[in-house]
Amino acid sequence: MKNLKQNNFKTELKFVYSDNNSLSIVFQDNDLLLGVVGEFNNNLKELEKLTNTSIYSRGNSILIKSDPKKNNLVKNAIQFLTNQFITNGNIEKKDIISSVNKFMIDENNNNTNKNIEYIIKTPKKSVIPRSEKQKNYVRALKESDIVISAGPAGTGKTFLAVAVGLTMLLEKKIERIILSRPAVEAGERLGFLPGDMREKVDPYLRPLYDSLYDLLDFEKIQKKIEIGDIEIAPLAFMRGRTLKNSFAILDEAQNATDTQIKMFLTRIGENSKIVINGDPSQIDLPNKNLSGLNRSKKLLGNLSEISIIDFDHSDVVRHPLVSKIVKAYSDINND
């Protein structure tokens, strides 16, 4: 679908408040309205379910009936989704979830355009940070030589890093992307797995492939892997190398030892960036004390060239229930 801005569609929204605790959001363009409400009003139905409100599509407007606080929440979510549709030409379920999460966390922030300056434009889609910490993370990925991030699954650590790296590759700011992660939990014992080397490590690297395929066509990704513009390899393969003109990401770093993380960080060369991502709550090493992720944050956090980003349950952009689950387990661990 074409970008609405390119067709000079009228995108300004009008808000009409009534005495009976209802709010009408009036669209100047029906095509934009249809894109936001979705086929058979499916987007509105999902928004209703997430916010426990009553939402209707009437004529050229969306009508919200609830208390003022929830009306404002839905209003901000509609603005967010409108910007999403203008930018990408479509709205996915995860966008609806993100629109609610964002404004439940910060109800006073109703200016969704603040995120636009951090937009990451890839050939397949435009990626917009969903929280303040995600915006700080994207800024760090662009400005810092080394970024270390820690936090629960679903906070966008890997996806945003891959998106930034891919745009830098396509803009020829770097020559290659290197994606790595510990291949097997307890010391990368690849010899015990069936198949050749690629068959042994691919299952552990699959999430990295998935992020790439979500941002660029399958054929183009395969071509870049074949010619070496994109390299996906287990952490053990990084030893002894110097990475120049590269954007290197170490994923699942909670399963890397202190020595392994030091080894990966010291691969950095001229015109390169290194990103370390992990979830300290999901350490699979036999001895959890061997994990080097938290230690690297403590040791290197005072270096100006290195950015440390700590995510928490409020930054989760998956289903709202995921955030609640993460918080529940976090609360237990902190007791």
Q: Give the three-state DSSP class for 143.
A: helix
What's the maximum distance between 2 C-alpha atoms anywhere in the chain? 71
Q: Give the number of domains in the chain.
A: 2
Residues 174 and 73 in one domain: no
User: Of 81, 110, 139, which residue is a domain's last?
Assistant: 110
CATH code for the domain of 83: 3.30.1370.10
**Residue 121 covered by a domain:** no
Crossing angle of helices 258-265 and 293-300, in 10° steps, is 50
- For residue 14, the cross-strand partners are 26
Using the structure block, give the residue that is written with the tokens 């050749």.
196
Residues 29 and 150 in one domain: no
Cα 218 to Cα 222: distance, rounded to the nearest angstrom = 6
Q: Give the three-state DSSP class for 230.
A: strand
The model's pTM is 0.64
**Residue 180 covered by a domain:** yes
In terms of residue numbers, what domain contains 317?
A: 126-334
Amino acid at 286: P
Residues 84 and 36 in one domain: yes
**Residue 67 covered by a domain:** yes
**Residue 21 covered by a domain:** yes
Residues 51 and 182 in one domain: no
Would you write out the chain's pLDDT as a tens digit for each of its 335 residues? Answer: 444 444 555 678 888 888 778 899 999 999 999 999 999 999 999 999 888 899 999 899 999 998 888 888 999 999 999 988 888 889 988 889 888 876 665 544 444 445 556 788 888 888 888 888 999 999 999 999 999 999 998 888 999 999 999 999 999 999 999 999 886 543 445 555 555 555 656 676 778 888 899 999 999 999 999 999 999 888 888 988 999 999 999 999 999 999 999 999 999 999 999 999 999 988 888 888 889 999 999 999 888 889 999 998 778 876 667 667 767 877 766 65
